[in-house]
Amino acid sequence: MPIDTPLTRRSLMTAAAALGAGLAAPAFAQQAYPARPVHLIVPYAAGGGTDFFARLVAGSMSATLGQQIVVENRPGAGTQIGAEAAAKAQPDGYTFLLGDTSTYASNMSLYQKLPYNPQADFAPISLTGRFAIVLLVNTDKLNVTSPQALIDAAKKTPGAIDYASAGVGSPFHLAAELFAQSAGIKLNHVPYKGAGPALQDLAGGQIGMMFVDFATARSQLNLKSIKAIGVCSPGEFYGLPGVPAVAATVPGFEAWAWQGFSAPAKVAPEIIAKLRETYLKAVNDPAIKQKLVDAGIDPLQSTPQEMAAYMAAETAKWQKVIKTAGIKLD
């Protein structure tokens, strides 16, 4: 028969409270995020623009968090290797991803099977930056000095003008396809394994034109035969004063190579908020912002909801371009 007295009830309540405190202590300690280094996956090799951005911002974020952010390069398969690793990581906040246009938007349409789902497997943190895309021509090979002159030449000889890209399905390939579709012209694609070899052949006159990001293009703009005849931003780009927007000739045309931070889908909202807050502090540091601008990167910041909406819009935009052009990758 149970004993029910004020003394025993008080004793039981005291014991229960002590037990509850003992159980709660480890759970509370686990919430002290971060308690160890955080891994930032970059789905590109070291040395490129995405890697530069990651390492610059990670240094500042590490100081704010009180734990090191370790940049982990996982290149290959059009960012799929790095994206899959991030998507399948434990959703504890100790792994996040710096993905880009391919990761979050175009891969969905380029590949029949992806090892991750951009919408379902990632929790957006913030858009982080975008690279202005420039239309370059070798005037010795292709004697045009404006987007309109290029369109006129392409209409006279449909499919006769070759353009280089950093590879099938790259943002620069897709920008060229969007341009051709929007202008009602036909161009011939010559894919390369990276922007570097493509630029070498452009400079050497083996190819007449290409779309490429400004940061990469700058090294070639001092050559007499290389001319930037258009930028893919809606208006004039600060890095190339006097170079017209392609949109002035092809209304509505716009293309960027963009990036954003995301985490595995089930990461707690408070951790997403902390990573975003830490990133905003870094990107709003005047010294960091200037280094990004000098590198040809337009720094961005957004809410997770704004990034999700941008991802959806870009996915729909590039899906249409890819389907119309019949681009497929295995």
Strands 226-231, 69-73: parallel, antiparallel or unpaired by DSSP? unpaired
**CA 249, 252, 257, 259: dihedral to nearest 10 degrees?**
150
Give the tens place of pLDDT for each residue, 105-122: 999 999 989 999 999 999
Q: Across-strand partners of 190?
A: 164
In order of 20, 25, 93, 329, the CA distances from 28 in angstroms are 12, 5, 16, 47
The pLDDT of residue 34 is 97
Give the tens place of pLDDT for each residue, 283-320: 999 999 999 998 889 999 999 999 999 999 999 999 99
Average pLDDT over residues 189-217: 92
Give the tens place of pLDDT for each residue, 10-31: 443 444 444 444 444 444 345 6
| Domain 132-248, CATH among 3.40.50.1220, 3.50.90.10, 1.10.1740.10, 3.40.190.10 | 3.40.190.10
The CATH code of domain 38-130+257-325 reads 3.40.190.150
Position 43 pLDDT exceeds 70: yes
What residue spans in the chain does CATH classification 3.40.190.150 cover? 38-130+257-325
Determine how many CB atoms are found less than 10 A away from the CB of residue 232: 27
What residue spans in the chain does CATH classification 3.40.190.10 cover? 132-248
The pLDDT of residue 30 is 54
The pLDDT of residue 9 is 43
pLDDT more than 70, % of the chain: 91
